[in-house]
Structure 1
Amino acid sequence: MNLVPIFFSAEHLLITATSLAVSLLASLHVLLHKRDTRAAIGWIGLIWLSPFVGTLVYVLLGINRIERKARALRRDRPAVNRMDAGEEDLSLLLETLGPERHHLSTLARLGERATGRRLMGGNRVEPLDGGDAAYRAMAQAIDEAKHSVTLLTYIFRFDAAGSPLADALARARHRGVSIRILIDSVGSVHEGKPIVEHLRGLGLPVALFIPTLRPDWIRYANLRNHRKVLVVDGRLGFTGGMNILDDFLDPGRDARGCGKNCRDLHFRIRGPIVKALQQAFADDWAFTTGELLDGPPWYADDLPIEGKTIARIVVDGPDLEADPLAAVLFGALVVARQRVTILTPYFIPDPPLSAALVSAALRGVEVDILLPRKNNHRLVQWAGFPLLEPLLEAGCRVWLTPPPFDHSKLMLVDDAFSFIGSANWDPRSLVLNFELNVECYDPTLACSLSRIAGARKAMAEPLTLDEVRGRSIVLKIRDNLARLFSPYL
């Protein structure tokens, strides 16, 4: 008779020992890589309560492969040296801000430490409100180019917006201007007619950022380059949130009725900060193609003083250890004393940013958040809705802008700080995508942008706390289910 109970069999002991070892290794990985305490406790609980299954789920869903993949892709690729960090000229910054806004100098220090880049004075930043103004200015700049044109964008469509820019680029090439065009590989097949083959047919050098075999109907792809940069002759730059497609054109501009009249903001930039924009493009181009763009014709020897805006670029992406974009957003909310205005099409702030918004409102800061009433990505809108209630309870004001869709991205603080660029207030921009924003310290620019935001707000309707609380249970369940997927939207 077998005197050894079945649960003491060699097979069972082997399975138990293996389970303990696997669970222990997985738990150690959680402890070393999960900064959020609640997430770490949840994963460790799942790992030990469901041996093997819990570990398998953690391996599939809990390990951040996005950062690891991005860093692996960047490894051993050419890189362009970014601008050396150095002491900012505090006296110039304080003079520009004025005595009543000296507190914003602490935000400037934070930005330098988060990005490793110094502020640069002497810039002129001009807002271009709408596609008609932006595309016209970009085409004119390309037509006046003498040495080089570099263009980086997420979406470049072959339509009434993209075709004139493609023609301008072709004319520049025929004049002997050096051209480089970088388009995100997913954005390049965005709904509508792709333009890549047309550009190549015109003899223009085009590269795709991280080509993927992912079907073009999958919108929520990771590791996408969402930056928008155009630099002409190393002296004139454009950046902001606007892709190149006719959605942002006035449909009444010609007999064809092209465009949807969607709103967006782009910016024309002159001054020393243009060199930093070119360096950002050159880094992405070197990563993608292996070609280094250095010296003439890509960089101008001397960039003159063009204006009074003190600026710094903030590049972010999953290949960086730090989170400079989130750091600047959070810091701006913390130092704000009077007012904060936020325009964004996609609003799913993480808990620290939500807490900072609540804290600002409770301190008496006027916090205005402008969102589209009808979003072009319904899941994103649903996921963000549950996050609005605590903000409204704290005193934040939420405004819903009417159609057509507003794709503008802008943050204003205390009538002196403007944060412009490609990033939205959602996990995709702050964690999954490669983004580029520009810090701007200039009361005159902030005043100009405040008028634009005020015009948007004048057309919008306030969202009240009663409206949010009074939504049906079906809508609340739908929105909170969507919120569970917010890290991937």
Structure 2
Amino acid sequence: MDWSIILSVIFFFNVLFAIAVVFFERKNPTAALAWLMVLFLLPPIGFALYLIFGQNFTRQKMFALKKEADQYLKDLFEEQHQDLVDRGFRFANPAAEQYRDTILALLTNNQALVTEKNKVEVYTDGKEKFDALFEAIGAARHHVHLEYFIVNNDELGRSVVHALAEKAKEGVEVRLLFDALGTRAGGGSKEAFRELTDAGGEIGVFFPSLYRVNYRNHRKIAVIDGTVGFIGGFNIGDEYLGKGPLGYWRDTAVRITGRAVNMLQLRFFLDWNHATGEYRGSDPVYFPDPDVAGTVPVQIVSGGPDTRWSPIKEGYIKLINSARSSVYIQSPYFIPDESVTDALRLAALSGVDVRVMIPCKPDHPFVYWASLSFVADLLDAGVRAYTYDNGFIHAKTIVVDGTAGSVGSANWDVRSFKLNFEANAFFYDANVGGEMKKRFVRDLEVCTEITPERYAARSRWVRMKESVSRLFSPLG
């Protein structure tokens, strides 16, 4: 084997990839420089990493169908957009009025219709969340739609598939959409869902390419009969019940009833259409009028490589900038870009109580050590940071002033902001915000604060791991 020829071929392709990075992919300068460094300083490794993580110049072709499907929604939002611009829209909930500009920004940026009169229930424990999901599935009369990044072939995963199969046998329409890479990594495959398909249920596989890490469907959505919806950070698997190596699993999801469920339904159908070519989002049977007397305004905000900007990230920034007393954030992966870092730093310097909670242990080591370094950058500005010590925290949340916030699948990192498909529920309500804030404060009882003194005392080995991890964090 002539290694000189092999290395020459790799170098040739690295040059082609470098040209693509600079001239065709329009990456931000930091990410572009990071990729160029990897390609030329680590030629064989860089070659492989770029094939798996780096390319994005095909995204327009890949998601053209999806964009066309999204197009029809514009008519639904034009009237509300004009009312918000003209300030003719009157919120029933007074908490929403102070976030009018945030609501308008998300509507303009993401066509995220704001719906009122919703009920929202918060879950932070896996057993409680899945008990509620099983109850909703059991009560289904017309359809059950589930969309998850991971559906593991383990005890919980098989229990969910069995529950879906039982409903399919009753004549209920059942559709299960999962990401090919996320579910395959958890031991799932089409064979694992045979009980469901044999019973008449349908499955959809999002982006079957397994060698590409980017463009994964990271959303976690459930819609039952068009009247009950779930969204949050829990995937489907035993570890989300605290039965994995990381111990107790602290996450957050919400159960929604009301008009916002229609928006979750639309999101599901658009993703189902992309995966299967079947679109049913124009059939009114899936969008019944809600029989709910709630008070919570909600926006369902979607992000991903098919969006021009980063709507969920920009929603986070708008919430941070609106804060007057407190900003509480939980995320398993905290690798913010400069816009988010600056917003948090300025809020803290302005006297806002800014707190960030991350795990005390890694499920992805590079991301963990990078997260620790980015959190530490904010300490001097007055941001307080904590590691969650009672197992693993996987929640992706923000709550501002105890009156507004967001729960969903989007982490505070470049993958969620730009590379994966995400969905979050933004809420504007003192009761829900107060509950979220209360649970954050309760979590502090099982946390360790990362003080400047504690951080400065870390070992050289930890410093080295942080430096290397941070160096690769812009790649994407």
TM-score between both structures, scaled by the size of structure 1: 0.83
1:308 partner amino acid: T
Tell me if structure 2 keeps the 8 A contact 1:134–1:266.
yes
Structure 1 stretch displaced more, 288-297 or 38-47: 38-47
Change beyond 3 A, Cα 1:41–1:301: closer
**1:68 Cα shift?**
3.2
Q: What secondary structure does 2:372 align onto?
A: helix
Partner of 1:79 in structure 2? 69
Equivalent residue in structure 2 for 1:459, among 438, 446, 453: 446
Q: Distance in 2 between matches of 1:246 and 1:259?
A: 11
Q: Distance in 1 between matches of 2:198 and 2:224?
A: 22
Change beyond 3 A, Cα 1:313–1:267: same
Tell me if structure 2 keeps the 8 A contact 1:383–1:486.
yes
Partner of 2:333 in structure 1? 346
Q: Deviations over 1:138-158 (max 9, x none)?
A: 111111111111110011112
**1:432 Cα shift?**
1.1
**1:392 Cα shift?**
0.5
Percent identity, aligned pairs only, is 30
Q: What secondary structure does 2:286 align onto?
A: coil
Change beyond 3 A, Cα 1:279–1:37: same
Tell me if structure 1 keeps the 8 A contact 2:65–2:274.
no
Change beyond 3 A, Cα 1:31–1:66: closer
Number of aligned residue pairs: 449
Change beyond 3 A, Cα 1:463–1:296: same
Q: What secondary structure does 2:236 align onto?
A: coil
Question: Which ranges in structure 1 are unaligned for 5 or more consecutive residues?
Answer: 1-21, 215-219, 252-256
Change beyond 3 A, Cα 1:384–1:69: same
TM-score between both structures, scaled by the size of structure 2: 0.85
Partner of 2:309 in structure 1? 322
Change beyond 3 A, Cα 1:461–1:97: farther
Tell me if structure 2 keeps the 8 A contact 1:309–1:442.
yes
Q: Distance in 2 between matches of 1:43 and 1:67?
A: 13
Q: Distance in 2 between matches of 1:458 and 1:258?
A: 22
Q: Deviations over 1:393-424 (max 9, x none)?
A: 10000011113111111100111112011010
**1:355 Cα shift?**
1.2
1:242 partner amino acid: F
Q: Distance in 2 between matches of 1:298 and 1:221?
A: 36
Q: Distance in 1 between matches of 2:227 and 2:241?
A: 27
Partner of 1:368 in structure 2? 355
Q: Deviations over 1:43-82 (max 9, x none)?
A: 99999xx9xx99xx99x969x9654333211224562533
Equivalent residue in structure 2 for 1:247, among 239, 244, 247: 239
**1:222 Cα shift?**
1.1
Equivalent residue in structure 1 for 2:437, among 446, 450, 454: 450
1:156 partner amino acid: V
**Aligned counterparts, 1:244-393, within 5 A:** 244-249=236-241, 260-296=247-283, 299-393=286-380
Equivalent residue in structure 1 for 2:128, among 113, 133, 146: 133
Tell me if structure 1 keeps the 8 A contact 2:227–2:288.
no
Q: What secondary structure does 2:367 align onto?
A: helix
Q: Deviations over 1:427-456 (max 9, x none)?
A: 111111000001101011111111211111
Change beyond 3 A, Cα 1:290–1:419: same
Tell me if structure 1 keeps the 8 A contact 2:25–2:56.
no
Equivalent residue in structure 2 for 1:167, among 154, 157, 162: 162
Partner of 2:118 in structure 1? 123
Q: Distance in 1 between matches of 2:150 and 2:73?
A: 26
Tell me if structure 2 keeps the 8 A contact 1:341–1:367.
yes
- Which 4+ stretches in 1 moved above 4 angstroms? 29-47, 64-67, 88-95, 257-260, 295-298
Q: Does 1:427 align with 2:422?
A: no
Partner of 2:220 in structure 1? 228
Q: Distance in 2 between matches of 1:411 and 1:180?
A: 31
Q: Distance in 2 between matches of 1:193 and 1:283?
A: 23
Q: Distance in 1 between matches of 2:237 and 2:468?
A: 32
Q: What secondary structure does 1:247 align onto?
A: helix
Tell me if structure 2 keeps the 8 A contact 1:428–1:488.
no
Partner of 1:211 in structure 2? 208
Change beyond 3 A, Cα 1:351–1:443: same
Structure 1 stretch displaced more, 76-85 or 156-165: 76-85
Q: Distance in 2 between matches of 1:107 and 1:300?
A: 26
Partner of 1:145 in structure 2? 140
Equivalent residue in structure 2 for 1:196, among 193, 197, 212: 193
Partner of 1:3 in structure 2? none
Change beyond 3 A, Cα 1:225–1:193: closer
2:337 partner amino acid: D
Q: Distance in 1 between matches of 2:248 and 2:237?
A: 11
Change beyond 3 A, Cα 1:296–1:346: same
Q: Which has the larger radius of gyration?
A: 1
Partner of 2:9 in structure 1? none
